[in-house]
Chain A
Amino acid sequence: MSIFEQISPDFLKSRNVTSGPFRQMFNYSLIWRWAILLTSAVTLLPLILITAVDYNFTQKSIESENLLRTLRVASNARRAISFFLSERKSALSFIVHDKSVDDLNNPEKLAALLKNLRDSFGGFVDLGVIDKNGFQTTYVGPYTLEGKDYSDQQWFKEVQEKGFHISDVFLGFRKVPHLVIAVRHNLPDGSFYILRTALDTILFNEHLSSLELSGRGDAFLINHQGIIQTPTRYQSKIFEKIAYAIPAYSDNTEIREDKNIAGDQVIICSAYIPDSPYILMIVKHKKDMMQSWSETRLKLIGFLAVSITVILMVILGFSTYLVNNVYLADQRRLMILHEMEYSNKLASIGRLAAGVAHEINNPLAIINEKAGLIKDLFTYVETYAADARILGLIDSILASVERCGTITKRLLGFARHMEVTIESISLEKVLDEVLGFLQKEAEYRNIAVNLDIAADIPEFQSDRGKLQQIFLNIVNNAFGAMDVGGKLDIAVRQDDTQHIITRITDNGCGMSEEDLGKIYEPFYSTKTKTGGTGLGLSITYGLVQELGGKIHVTSKKGAGTTFTVSLPLEPPPKTAEK
């Protein structure tokens, strides 16, 4: 037997009887399936729905929070860079307004100013004064740039037009990345000069790299042409063009989704730095941004899976328990119903038999006495005594009357013993009575019945009617299993001082192992087509138990069957009380 068969409930193992007297009230297998399906549907659907809504909501919420945070970081960085540049530009403006052109053209004073600027603001590399023709008249710094001509440079023209200039980052003469801020100052005579300074980009870079960007996040500057201005961690090198589209101009910080060269989804946050050629770029991998969501999602799905498993197990267990209990109750109901029907049927047969026997007994008694009298006359009156033929005929009538009388008495006895009575029993008589009922059938079918009762079998206390039913059922079954010319052996022995053992062996068709395991189950019958109810052996089993005995069966397919009934010499206390 497989594990599934062992753990599967009774109603799944049973056959679904849909018609006839043993019809089950419900299709239990179907009820079970529907119970599980419907209960699962009403419990799991809301759970799954709520989880799906929560999944979606949480995902959107985390995504939106991440975008906002990135926007905030970008806005702050934009303000910081903008402030950095305007602060230094204002410092230059202050100097040109505060100092005279002569002071600025004094190298010593200019050097003192450069020192002050370095100390106060930081980032200043050099300082130079350029006249209206583009010549650098005075210069303080690490290089020799005095007298250099900038007149043909674009930035010189821009300063003349706009009044100030902030350059792209470039290597210049010093071969280190730097930028230039230049401011124009008009003189009373209508001419002008320009104060120009080179700024180190280290402060810039430090600020950008200090931004808190999770995972593979990157923050850098590009110019309006898309050329990278500051070092990056994961993008192209400085002074190369970025791999993404240049963001369109906007006064605000903008955010958009894009794909990088590797095809990964990225979030790009961009902000134009006012009055400068720079655009701040923050690039983040969407996967990194949603890292926290991945963890939350895993927990959510795990919780859902565990919940579904637990709910399904509870539903399965509880549905099986309930349906099985209803099934068992239905089985008990059927069993009791059919036992009652069976008892009623037997009682009716008993009453009918008693009525018939009584009606026949009286005329039979008259025939008996009349024939007896005739015989007496022939016996006691000498005149008739010689006629042997008539005496023979009378004996034949008397023998027939006696035979009829035996049958009616047996019927009366059978009817009387329907009721529960403990009395002193001779097993031999009981078996004789039982076999008496089947004697004609045995003769017709040429079945040899051997009754072998040990001489020392005592009378014992038991219920005659029940014993008759027990042996009648077993012998009936044996007759049913045998063909014409079969052989039935009944042996009675006393095995110890407490029990009488009766072995009933037939040489009929026998039973398979599968049938053998189920013969005492109610409604199990191999003879359903020929009117078997499947109750005979079930009731027999119950009766033997009731009398405190045991029943055991061995069988071999095609060879025959042996029933062994062990009966106690004293009935069990419960039965005896009845």
Chain B
Amino acid sequence: MRVLLVDDEVEFVATLAERLSFRNIEVDYATKGADALVLAKKKVYDLAILDMKMPGISGIELKGLLEKQSPTMKFIFLTGHGSEDDYKAGTSEACCYLIKPINIDILLAKIKQATEE
């Protein structure tokens, strides 16, 4: 399974990517939306885990752009904010919506659920 992980917090995204790779998930990560789009052009990913609030292209916008490239791609949103807008967008646009800090087991369960759908 190939997962694309995008978050502007490099410390977070790099560590989470490494942790997922320990669990036999092939992960690429980016800290900007533009970098993520470049990665998605090179490879096909089953799932994208996107931070909702990022400088430049936001998580929601990025989802739209990625969907154009890979219509079958699934999405999980991450957020550290949990505002009303995030909540509405996160629950309507993606299969699930997780607030940081996340439990790795819950994330794995959500990844499994999303990809199985």
Contacts and interface: CB of A to CB of B under 8 A. Distances in A.
A357 interface: yes
B80 interface: yes
Contacts of A362: 9, 12, 80, 100
B101 A416 contact: no
A358 B101 contact: no
B83 A416 contact: yes
Interface stretch (B15-23, B63-71, B109-117): B15-23
Interface in A380-437: 380, 401-402, 404-405, 408-409, 412-413, 415-416, 419
Given A367-B101, A401-B101, A416 B18 contact: no
B11 A366 contact: yes
B81 A372 contact: no
A495 B80 CA distance: 40
A394 B103 CA distance: 14
Given A365-B101, A412-B99, A416-B87, A370 B15 contact: yes
Contact of A372 (B9, B87, B104): B104
Interface band, chain B: 20 to 34
Nearest to B9: A362
A369 B82 contact: no
A408 B22 CA distance: 28
Contact of A412 (B11, B82, B101): B82
A369 B83 contact: no
B34 interface: no
B19 A369 contact: yes
A354 B22 contact: no
Contacts of B18: 373, 376
A416 B89 CA distance: 13
Contacts of B22: 376, 379-380
Contacts of A379: 22
A364 interface: yes
A365 B82 contact: no
A415 B22 CA distance: 36
Contact of B103 (A373, A402, A408): A402
Nearest to A417: B84
Given A354-B82, A373-B18, A361 B87 contact: no
B68 to A, nearest CB: 29
A398 B11 CA distance: 17
A412 B81 CA distance: 7
Given A369-B15, A372-B15, A376-B19, A419 B101 contact: no
A564 interface: no
A365 B14 CA distance: 12
A373 B82 contact: no
Contacts of A369: 11-12, 15-16, 19, 101
A367 B104 CA distance: 13
A505 interface: no
B25 interface: no
Interface in B45-94: 80-84, 87
A416 B15 contact: no
A368 B9 contact: no
Given A361-B101, A366-B11, A369-B12, A409 B19 contact: no
Central interface residue in B12, B80, B84, B100, by most chain A CB within 10 Å:
B100
B44 interface: no
Given A369-B19, A372-B15, A373-B19, A364 B82 contact: no
A367 B87 CA distance: 24
Contacts of A361: 80-81, 99-101
B81 A365 contact: no
A369 B16 CA distance: 6
Interface in A246-302: none
Given A361-B99, A365-B101, A409 B15 contact: no
B1 interface: no
A365 B83 contact: no
A421 to B, nearest CB: 8
Contacts of B100: 361-362, 364-365, 368, 405
Contacts of B84: 416, 419
A408 B100 CA distance: 9
Central interface residue in B9, B16, B82, B87, by most chain A CB within 10 Å:
B82
A413 B81 CA distance: 10
Central interface residue in B19, B83, B100, B101, by most chain A CB within 10 Å:
B101
Given A380-B22, A412-B81, A402 B101 contact: yes
B12 to A, nearest CB: 5
Nearest to A360: B80
A366 B82 contact: no
Given A362-B12, A373-B19, A416-B87, A368 B81 contact: no
Contacts of B15: 366, 369-370, 372-373
A172 to B, nearest CB: 133
A425 to B, nearest CB: 15
11 contacts: A361-B80, A361-B81, A361-B99, A362-B100, A365-B100, A366-B11, A368-B100, A372-B19, A402-B101, A416-B82, A416-B87
Interface of A: 354, 357-358, 361-362, 364-370, 372-373, 376, 379-380, 401-402, 404-405, 408-409, 412-413, 415-416, 419
Given A361-B100, A365-B102, 14 more contacts: A358-B80, A361-B80, A361-B99, A365-B100, A365-B101, A368-B100, A369-B15, A370-B11, A372-B104, A373-B19, A376-B19, A402-B101, A405-B101, A412-B82
Interface of B: 9, 11-12, 15-16, 18-19, 22, 80-84, 87, 99-104
Rank and list the top 9 A-B pairs by shortest CB-CB distance, nearest first: A412-B82, A368-B101, A365-B100, A369-B15, A361-B80, A365-B101, A405-B101, A376-B22, A358-B81
